[in-house]
Amino acid sequence: MSDSLTRRDFLGAASGLAAGAVLGPAITAKAAPAVHVRPAARNAAVASANGLRAVQKVGELLQQGVDTLDAAIEGVKIQELDPDDTSVGYGGLPNEHGVVQLDASCMHGPSRRAGAVGALEGIKTPSVVAKYVLLYTDHIMLVGEGAKRFALSYGFKEEDLLTDRARERWLHWRANRGPDDDWIDVPREEQMVVEERHGTINCNVVNANGDISSVTTTSGLAWKIPGRVGDSPLIGAGQYTDNDVGAAGSTGRGEANIKVCGAFLTVEFMRRGMSPTDAALETLRRVVATTEPRLKDEQGRPRFDLNFYAVNKRGEFGGAAIWSHRESDDPVERTIRQYAAFNGETAQLYDSAYLYERYPESGQ
Ligand code: GLY
């Protein structure tokens, strides 16, 4: 991380002291519950399943002593720059107007700082812009035009993020939107089926010293209402790090996660002693409990999916989803209930824990 961290941390500490002097002793902060985890003895990283290359990269960088946030962002950048990943960065599926709007956020455990961008257009790597917000501003989140101008001021290049593949899928979606619009429907037998997908990459990293960081980046919900911001850029929802405990993050239906502050909640469950997997499952139970009836099936189960990934200070990691893993010929579908992790030695995919067995007739 840059020298500016040191400077800002100093300034932050100084202004905190000044506030304390004015307010006097009447306000006392309640200490967070004690944490019963030893620092990591190994490097580790956990990510959504599309992050297999990311966690491999993170593993290599941690071996070289690279900072956990820098390593996490170098990892997720692989997906942001990959035109074949239609859920993240360049090549991401656009909003209903055909414009790609990207969200990202990150946290750096050792400095206890955060940065985020929402509805950012024209910049391929929103995770890096989020890191610049963390590094160079006194703010946490920039959105829309302001976020773009901020990025351009640092030399980020403005580019058209809509690849031919994503444009074709958007055009097909628009054509088939409904019988009463002005677009002629495209028959399904022409193999122009359009699917709605959430897609995102989250990556949570701990090094052998027990320092932790997290990042989440996404193009959000395909065909979203312009300006819609999901969970990914929201600190505490899309990702969260507490350097004393661990980090967690999410992919899937952002609206369901935002209501429970799921990444924060998962870290809080780990603080109380739960394993990363159990913490992720407990958060998902909270999600189910807060789901509106219109989004549940007749057995009270959500009609959407949501995944959490978590790592603790010891380097233990896990992942959980609402629905179980399903075999499929579709590579995206196949990995959607898995997660990627670097376990200190190798990077590989693991099956996520889950709340519900996927039933065959489910459209999930
Ligand atoms: N979790 C990604 C989104 O809902 O935008």
Write down all domains in the chain, each with its CATH number in brackets: 44-356 (3.60.20.30)
pLDDT confidence band for 86 (50 / 70 / 90): confident
Tokens of 67: 């900072």
Q: Rounded to whole angstroms, how far apart are CA atoms 201 and 188?
A: 30
User: How many residues are there in the chain?
Assistant: 364
CB distance 113 to 132 below 8 Å: no
What does the DSSP assignment read for 276-337? HHHHHHHHHHHHHHT--GGGB-TTS-BSS-EEEEEEETTS-EEEEEEE-----SSHHHHHTT
Nearest to 204 by CA among 105, 135, 352: 105
For residue 252, give the ligand 1 atom closest to its CA: 1
**How far, in Å, CA of 287 to CA of 305, rounded?**
10
- Ligand 1 centre and the CA of 176: distance in Å? 23
- b or e along 301-323 (b: 16 or more beta carbons within 10 Å of the residue's beta carbon)? bbebbbbbbbbbbbbbbbbbbbb
Ligand 1 midpoint to CA 47 (Å) = 15
H or E element: which one contains 355? Answer: strand 353-356
Residue 60 has a pLDDT of 97
Per-residue pLDDT at 185 = 76
**Core vs surface per residue 221-254: b (16+ CB within 10 A) or e:** bbbbeeebbbbbbbbbbbbbbbbbbbbbbbbbbb
Residue pair 64/340 in contact (Cβ under 8 Å)? The answer is no
What's the chain's average pLDDT? 84
Interstrand relation of 239-242 and 113-120 (parallel, antiparallel or unpaired): unpaired
Per-residue pLDDT tens over the stretch 203-223: 999 999 999 999 999 999 989
Can you give the pLDDT at residue 336? 65
Pocket test for ligand 1, best of 95, 200, 223 (most atoms within 8 A of CB): 200
Q: Which value, to the nearest 10 degrees, does the dihedral of the CA atoms of residues 284, 289, 292, 294 take?
A: 80
State phi, psi for 98 to the nearest 5 degrees: 85, 20
86: annotated active-site residue: no
Helix axes 3-23, 126-136, angle to 10 degrees: 50
From 200, 241, 266, 291, the catalytic residue: 200
CA distances in angstroms from 99 to 122, 145, 183, 228, 237, listed in the order given: 9, 13, 18, 12, 24
pLDDT digit string (tens) for 119-177? 999 999 999 999 999 999 999 999 999 999 999 999 999 998 887 778 778 888 888 88
Q: What are phi and psi of 255, to 5 degrees?
A: -60, -35
pLDDT digits (tens, 9 = 90+) for 24-40: 333 344 445 444 455 56
pLDDT in tens, 73-85: 999 999 999 988 8
The C-alpha torsion from 219 through 168 and 333 to 203, rounded to 10°, is -20
Residue 8: strand, helix, or coil: helix
pLDDT digits (tens, 9 = 90+) for 236-283: 999 999 999 999 999 999 999 999 999 999 999 999 999 999 999 999
Give the mean pLDDT of 225-240.
96
pTM: 0.80
